[in-house]
Each structure stands twice: as C-alpha cells, then as structure tokens.
Chain A
Amino acid sequence: MSSDLMWRRLSEEEKIKIKEIAKNIIDNFSKTIENLPKSDERFIERDPFLRDEKENAFLDDLEKFREIIFSNAPLKKDNFIIAERGSWTKN
C-alpha cells in the first residue's frame, strides 16, 4: 500500500474510498469500547461565570483592523470588498 499520509489533491473516487475506510476504522474502534463499563463521573463541572465584554482592543486601531480585513478579502476593488450574495448556492 502506498503512503496515504502525504498531502495530495484527491479525486472524487478517492474521496468515496476514504469515506469507506474512515467508517470502517471508526466502527472497529467504537466496537472495541462498546462493552466497557459505564463511568460514574459526571461529564462537566464548571463554576458559572460571565465573560467580561467591556474590552474590545481589536477595534481600537481601526486602520489596522481595516488592513487585516482587506488582506483577507477574496475579492476587492479600490476601496471596497466585493461580496457575492449566495454564490455557494449555485452548485
């Protein structure tokens, strides 16, 4: 079997095969632990608290904020970010 670790672009056929392998692995793993005893422990115990929202240093430097938002925008023209409404629904 060739290395299935190295990154490469995947064909649709490979993706289907990967899904089957993933399902088999997870089914086998889950069956191994299925019959182990139940834990007495409670899952989550946390002290209640509220996040302090008063600080927003992120917006202090608006020029920096603008620069970062623009650098991440996939489409832009002059001083505008071009938003394409609902483009993901076309497929």
Chain B
Amino acid sequence: MKIIDKVNLIRFGKLKAEENIKNFLKEIEKNNFSGKKINAILSINPNAINEALELDRRIKQGKKVGKLAGIGIVVKSNICVQGLECNCASLTLKGWIAPYSATVIEKIKKEDGIILGMANMDEFACGGSGETSAFGPTKNPVQLDLIPGGSSSGSAASVAANFCDISLGSDTGGSIRNPSSHCGVVGIKPSYGLVSRYGLIDLSMSLDQIGVIGKDSESVAFLLDIIKGKDEKDPTTYESDPINIFEVSKIKIGILKPLANKEIQNLIDNRIDDLCNKYSWKKEVLEIKYIDVAVQTYYPLVYVELFSGTRKFDGRRFGKKIEDVAGPELLRRILGGSEITRAEYSGRYYKKALEVKELIKSEFERAFERVDCIIIPTCPGLPWKIGESMRVEEVYAYDALTIPANLAEICSLTMPAGYISNIPVGMQVMCKKGDESKLFSIAKKIESLSLFL
C-alpha cells in the first residue's frame, strides 16, 4: 500500500496508528531478532506504541495531524534520533544515545511519522555488502544466504522484510541504491544539497546525502518531499520547489556502453527497449568521459574525508577510540586516509581527486543537455553469499555504477527491473541535479509498465 493511502486510512480512523505500529513490531520480533534472524534492526524505539496511541487520541478528538500520521519509519544508525542509540554499527559508539535529532528526523516528527527503530548498516557506512557491521551482517530477506548490499543494509532489508512502511538511509557512493537493488525495493540518492545532513554522522562530507527507501516510487517521493529543503545548519542545502510528479512524454533516454555482467546488461537493455516500444521514447548512446575512473577518484576522497571526520572518535568524548575497535574495512579506510594526508603528499592525491570529480560532473552536465535521463544497471553483478571470499578491489568495483552520480552531485533512483535466478536486479535512472520531479515522473511511468515484474 502506498504511504499516502495508508495515511488517509489512519487520518479517517479506518486504521489505527497503534495497529500499524504494533504489526511492524510483531514482524520485527518474529523475523529480525528470532525466526529468520534478518538482523536489519539494531534497536527499537521504546516509545513507538505510546506515540501511536497519542496520535490515535488526537485523531479521535478531531485534531489536525501531519502528512505522515502513523507511518512507521526505520532509520539508519548514522542519523541521530534524540534518545535512541546511534552507534553507526560500531563498537566505537556502542551505547551512545543521540542528544539531539537530525533535521530530517525533526521534519518527520513534525508530520507525525513514527520512528520504529534504528537499522543495521556497514560500520560507519564503510562497505557495500552489509557484512562489516560490528553487530553481525544483515541477511537479504529475498534470499537469506545472500548479502543485502550496503551500506544502508538494514534500511533496505527492513522495507523488503515488511518491518516498516519506509526507511531512511544515506548514500555516499551507492549506499542506498546498491542494497535497494539487491533487496528488490526503490531507493533514491537525492541531488547533493537537496536534503540537510545536519545530524548525519558523516562518511565523506562532499558526497554524503540522506535519502529514502520504500516499496514504490510515489511513496519515496512523498517522504523525500517532506525531508528536503534549505537548512541553515547545513550550508550545502538550497531552496527547492515541491516534488511534483507529472505526465511525461517524448522522453529521450541516454544509455552507456555495456557496464554490467552480460545477464544484467541484457535485462536492463530489454527494459529500455520495452519503454521505447510502449511509450515511443527515444534512446541515444552517450559517451561520458572519465566514468571509468570513478572508483579511483572516489576512494581517495572517501579515505581522506573519513579520516578527517573520525578524528573526534579518540575515546575521550565518545565511547572507544575508533582505531582500537574498528573492523577491517573501516580501519583500512582510516589508515589509508591517514597515509595520504601526510605532509609528504601535501594534499596532492586529494586535490587531484577533487579535480577529476569536477571533470565527471561537467561530463554529466553536458550529457543532460542531450537527454532527459540516463538509465543503466544499478550494480554490475548479483549479490554474493554472506562471508564469501572477495578481494577488496573487487568489492570496491561493485560500486562503479553508483559512484558517478555522487561525484556528479545528480539525483539517481534505483527501482526493480526484474529477476535473475530469483534474485532482484535494479535499474538506475539518473537525472540532472535538482530534477527530482522529472526523475520521479519517469519512474512512475516505468512502474506502470507492469510487465516488468
């Protein structure tokens, strides 16, 4: 059920907020902590039912309620929710209770959304598989032996496992789109600056964005419209028009040379052909220079900015010293960042990576002068088995198709495109910076082609 339809049921007393929240909590108890042991949720909001009861009381009294009345939302554990444990799935912050709420949480609460709990994730968002959490890996609800993707592993798995109506994640190089693709749900990385990052424990400040994961694009757009907007606490944010889904026609799709494994590429190519046949959309093959070095540009930026951002976790003000308790992937990035910020490099690698980021951004700007959107696979391969041997470089290459949107600061959404061996495969739709309305309008049109699933 779409979020907006459920809100209407709750507002008009046809569904109690309490019932909605209790149903999710029951499912979490049944399959997160026991049963399938999906491990998508790390902690529950102990006040969730009371908040729902209070909302039901207000509705009964005929009082006005918000646009998210009674909707159950799961939040990635790097977004601060006052009074709840925000540990970034790390022993560093184990037991740390957020003393304030992120701007996105304030906005959700103002609209009567109910935070159900905090989601598992890769440790400090370092990882693309959901395996690097200090509290154990998250399982993919579609196939329990597979990774759900990451780093917003718990946020995507929570939606797929019916633990919530919708969830929040963060995306630095694909951390919303990658797990959404593997779990068969919809996820958006908004344009850089659309959503305030105040209260987000950062991985890489020049790339991070908070975004939404849900079951359909309209619900995702609905929540994104609520959390977006200029915030004086985050100077990268800007004023933006409301997200408006409109009827699109004569769309020109940009496609790139094959980027994924053959099966996935064929599936996406077929879907694009379906769209062109059904809606008379056009397609054009584009060349985006430097996209092949996106991974090599991204990691120097992330290593340096993560190193810088984690200096506050020295064991004095927050929990434990990060280097003492970090798992392999987090430590690799911190030590790598420490190495290239040494005086002998004088910022050479970091500055060069920033320059290439600008080149890639310009390439995308040029491409969007020719086409309305670019459609490519979300991931180059299928999810692997939890615990399977993987080389580090091989894992980093899994983000090769999602990283370019972060470097270019554009908006990008993944949506289910079909299945290969019963495993969901995501299709990534990208539009130019600030063009979320067009992105969601195209996504809605794609969803209405029910032949996809």
A residues touching B (Cβ–Cβ < 8 Å)?
Answer: 1-10, 14-15, 18-19, 21-23, 25-26, 28-30, 32-34, 36-39, 41, 43, 46, 49, 51-52, 58, 64-65, 68-69, 71-72, 74, 88
Q: Which of A5, A23, A49, A51 is B390 in contact with, Cβ under 8 Å?
A: A5
Q: Are B387 and A6 in contact (CB under 8 A)?
A: yes
Q: Are A22 and B335 in contact (CB under 8 A)?
A: yes
Q: Which of A19, A25, A33, A49 is B353 in contact with, Cβ under 8 Å?
A: A33
Give the docked Cα–Cα distance between A69 and B328 (Å): 31
A65 partner residues in chain B, CB cutoff 8 A: 99
Q: Are B387 and A49 in contact (CB under 8 A)?
A: no
With contact pairs A39-B362, A41-B358, A51-B233 given, residues A7 and B123 touching in the complex (Cβ less than 8 Å): yes
Complex interface residues of chain B between 314 and 344 (CB less than 8 A to chain A): 314-316, 319, 323, 325-329, 331-333, 335-336, 339-340
A8 partner residues in chain B, CB cutoff 8 A: 327-328
Task: List 25 contacting pairs A-B, 8 Å CB cutoff, sorted by A.
Answer: A3-B388, A5-B129, A6-B137, A6-B387, A7-B123, A7-B132, A9-B325, A10-B331, A15-B323, A19-B335, A22-B333, A22-B335, A23-B339, A26-B300, A30-B348, A33-B293, A33-B296, A33-B297, A41-B361, A43-B358, A49-B232, A68-B97, A68-B99, A71-B97, A72-B97
Q: Tell me, rounded to whole Å, the shortest Cβ–Cβ distance linking A86 to chain B.
A: 10
Size category of the B interface is 35 or more
Q: Are A52 and B232 in contact (CB under 8 A)?
A: yes
The count of A-to-B residue pairs whose CB atoms sit within 8 angstroms is 142
Any A CB within 8 A of the CB of B349: yes
Q: Which of A19, A32, A36, A58 is B100 in contact with, Cβ under 8 Å?
A: A58
CB nearest to B304 among chain A residues? A26
Q: Are B99 and A33 in contact (CB under 8 A)?
A: no
Any A CB within 8 A of the CB of B393: yes
Q: Which of B97, B327, B391 is A1 in contact with, Cβ under 8 Å?
A: B391
B395 partner residues in chain A, CB cutoff 8 A: 5
Give the docked Cα–Cα distance between A25 and B396 (Å): 10
Q: Are A88 and B327 in contact (CB under 8 A)?
A: no
A69 partner residues in chain B, CB cutoff 8 A: 99
Q: Mark B109-128, 1 if CB is under 8 A from A, else 0.
A: 00000000000000100010
Give the docked Cα–Cα distance between A19 and B146 (Å): 29
Q: Are A33 and B356 in contact (CB under 8 A)?
A: yes
Q: Which of A4, A18, A39 is B358 in contact with, Cβ under 8 Å?
A: A39
B residues touching A (Cβ–Cβ < 8 Å)?
Answer: 82-83, 95-100, 123, 127, 129, 131-134, 136-137, 232-233, 235-236, 290, 293, 295-297, 299-300, 303, 314-316, 319, 323, 325-329, 331-333, 335-336, 339-340, 348-349, 352-356, 358-359, 361-362, 387-393, 395-396
Q: Are B392 and A4 in contact (CB under 8 A)?
A: yes
Q: Are A18 and B340 in contact (CB under 8 A)?
A: no
Interface centre among A5, A18, A22, A23 (most CB of B within 10 A): A5
Q: Tell me, rounded to whole Å, the shortest Cβ–Cβ distance linking A42 to chain B.
A: 9
B319 partner residues in chain A, CB cutoff 8 A: 74
B232 partner residues in chain A, CB cutoff 8 A: 49, 51-52
Q: Are B303 and A5 in contact (CB under 8 A)?
A: no
With contact pairs A3-B390, A5-B395, A10-B327 given, residues A26 and B133 touching in the complex (Cβ less than 8 Å): no
Give the docked Cα–Cα distance between A30 and B302 (Å): 13
A23 partner residues in chain B, CB cutoff 8 A: 335-336, 339
Give the docked Cα–Cα distance between A79 and B315 (Å): 23
B132 partner residues in chain A, CB cutoff 8 A: 5-7
Give the docked Cα–Cα distance between A25 and B329 (Å): 13
